[in-house]
Amino acid sequence: MIGMKRMRSNAMPATRNADDTPDWRGAILADPSRVLADGELMIALLGVRHDGNIADLNAAARARLQSEITLLKAANEDLQDMLRGNLAAQASAHAAVMGLMDEPTLAALDRRLAGHTATTLGLEAVRVCLEGITALPRAIAILPAAPGLKAAMLGEASERLGAPDPRLSGPIYGVQASRVASEAVIALEGRGFSGVLCLGSARRDAFRPSDAADLAHFLARILERRLEALLPR
């Protein structure tokens, strides 16, 4: 999948730096009762008030540590999934780009986008909509679009990720429209043309508004160069 997941900035609790021992450690060590007698602190630390016996406190302390371990393990697995997912997305995007580089004609580029590119990226459909340009008579992927389509879909933005626009899904994806559950729309702008690149996925969560679109943008920039080389002047 070409969409890259952003790393959550608050994936983990802040870590204590070993080099930097806070002065308040000394205060607690000198007089633990300052903490033990502080109801708010004891709730924060152990989730209990210090009115029970010491065995309860020890059990509560272990439970807190155990729950922190559970959270850290889950965060660790999420990070590993993201790392693997990003590398897989990068590899498939690069394979798609190399495929686009090699096509010698616009008709071949059209077939490549509709077939190899979509398959390589794990997508239901790939469409290039060029405003006011009918580049090919029987195109599958490189379609003519009404002037203003880009502004209607994106406004001033360079991308939009999320659920497909129901009014435009039919004209863009044709018979595949009903199977597109999420899409990434990226602005295209080159010498002599303007339009959008539409990446349609059958997976609802393939493109979410919060996802990063770096690879989709890179694909769009490469595609602009190929269209500039292959579109008739």
Does residue 79 interact with a copy of itself by CB under 8 A? yes
* Those residues with Cβ within 8 angstroms of residue 205's Cβ, 6 or more apart along the chain or in another chain: 182
Distances (CA, A) of 40 to 49, 50, 159, 163, 223: 8, 10, 47, 45, 59
Beta bridge partners of residue 142, listed in sequence order:
128
**Among 87-95, 141-149, 159-167, 193-201, which window interacts with a copy of itself (CB under 8 A)?**
87-95
Question: Contacts with a copy of itself in 52-71 (CB under 8 A)?
Answer: 54-55, 57-58, 61-62, 64-66, 68-69
- Quote the distance between the C-alpha of residue 209 and its chain's center: 8
Q: Is 45 in the site for a copy of itself (CB under 8 A)?
A: yes
- Least distance from a copy of itself to the Cβ atom of residue 128, Å: 18
Count of residues in contact with a copy of itself, rule CB under 8 A:
72
Determine if 191 is a binding residue for a copy of itself (CB under 8 A).
Answer: no
Determine which residue in the list 83, 146, 151, 157 makes contact with a copy of itself, applying CB under 8 A. Answer: 83
User: Between 202 and 230, whose beta carbon lies closer to a copy of itself?
Assistant: 230
E-state strands within the chain: 125-131, 142-145, 159-162, 182-190, 193-201
